[in-house]
Amino acid sequence: MPELPEVEVVVRQISKANILSKKIKKVAISEKAMKGSINKSNLQIDSKRVHSLKGHSFKEVQRRGKYILFNVEDSNTLLIHLGMSGTLRINTEGQQEGERHDHFTICFADGRVLRFNDSRRFGKICVVDHNEKHAILHKLGVEPLGREFNAGMLFQVTRQCRAAVKPFLMNGTIICGIGNIYASEILFAAGMDPTRRVCDLTMKECGTLVRKTKYILHHAIKKGGSTLKDFQDSAGKSGYFQYHFKVYGRGGKGCEKCTGTIESIPQCGRTTFYCDHCQK
């Protein structure tokens, strides 16, 4: 599933694609239902709300956690979650033929097309009146690349928390956008045991964890994110950060930093990778 770096890569590319302020001429929705949904009680895309985008234009595109937000000129917001395999592509004129698994298409007045393709159909699409008032976005935690995520904040929120540091980093209600891949890589960079309780972290260690979090995420964004199976950017290209993994997916292999071996353990239903020697 795409994590913060992959979503940020897509948002930055779309921001540069010059579709903002272009009038939406047509909206098309696949008849096949999505498995995921912003509203759990409704597994279908809210076609009436989505079709209301016609005649309007996007003012800006932003990221919040793992969500892509297209802010519309009439103050509505189109929310898209890429799910496990979703991609957003922008076709230029002459490249308008659709593909299998295109579930959502926006045609602009200048001839270009924005397509949401999702073979596994776990993506989410919804139009809301105001993004900050939507329940899903409202409960998201602090952005790890923002100034609010700092040593003082982290030290304060961990004092009464007995969770292990790995699942703590992945708790989107506290810190949004970090998934299994980057949590493992961040903790290796910080030299921190993934099973350690966060309430035991010192202020200095919180500062180290914040710095390494920002470093790993920025580095991954520069490399275009990570492509393990499905992720592609808006130009259809794969990311390259997977070639820089130090621990994730490397269980049983030698550590590149020491003479130890990368271990793997289950944590909260996910596999954690770490070096027992480097991460005391």
Domains of the chain, first to last: 4-138 (3.20.190.10), 151-275 (1.10.8.50)
Give the pLDDT of residue 41.
Answer: 36
Model pLDDT, residue 38: 45
Contact 53, 106 (CB under 8 A): yes
Question: How does pLDDT run across 49-98, given as a tens digit for each residue?
Answer: 888 899 999 999 999 999 999 999 877 889 999 887 788 888 765 555 55
Instruction: Report the predicted TM-score, pTM, of the whole model to 2 decimal places.
Output: 0.87
- 66 is known as an active-site residue: yes
- Amino acid at the residue 129: D
Pick from 33-47, 78-92, 96-110, 155-169: least confident:
33-47
* Catalytic residue selected from 3, 185, 205, 263: 3
Find out whether 226 and 239 touch, Cβ atoms under 8 Å: yes
Check 12, 35, 49, 270 and give the catalytic one.
Answer: 270
Question: Which own/partner contact pairs does 46-52 have at CB distance under 8 Å and 24+ positions apart?
Answer: 46/126, 46/127, 49/126, 49/127, 50/78, 50/104, 50/125, 50/127, 51/27, 52/76, 52/127
Confidence (pLDDT) at 33: 52
C-alpha dist (Å) from residue 144 to 38, 66, 109, 150, 152: 23, 12, 37, 8, 13
- Supply the pLDDT for residue 97: 55
Q: Looking at per-residue confidence, does 231 or 226 come out higher? A: 226
Q: DSSP H helical segments within the chain, as ranges? A: 4-15, 47-51, 135-138, 151-158, 165-169, 180-190, 203-222
Residue 135 has pLDDT above 90, yes or no: no
Q: What is the pLDDT of residues 86-106, one digit of tens each?
A: 888 887 655 555 566 787 889
The Cα-based distances of 206 to 160, 175, 187 in angstroms read 15, 13, 12
Report d(CA 44, CA 179) in Å as an integer. 26
Average the pLDDT over each of 9-18, 113-122, 261-270 and give the range with the smallest value. Answer: 113-122
With cut-offs at 50, 70 and 90, classify the pLDDT of residue 45. Answer: low
Does the active-site annotation cover 132? no
Q: Which residues face 68 on adjacent strands?
A: 63, 80
Residue of 6, 63, 64, 66 marked active site:
66
**pLDDT grade, residue 227 (50/70/90)?**
low
3 is catalytic: yes
Catalytic residue list contains 73: no
Least confident interval from 18-22, 41-45, 239-243: 41-45
- Annotated active-site residue in 2, 5, 167, 194: 2
Indicate the pLDDT class of residue 260, thresholds 50, 70 and 90.
very high
Cα–Cα dist 196/97, whole Å: 52
Least trusted range by pLDDT, from 29-33, 59-63, 196-200, 210-214: 29-33
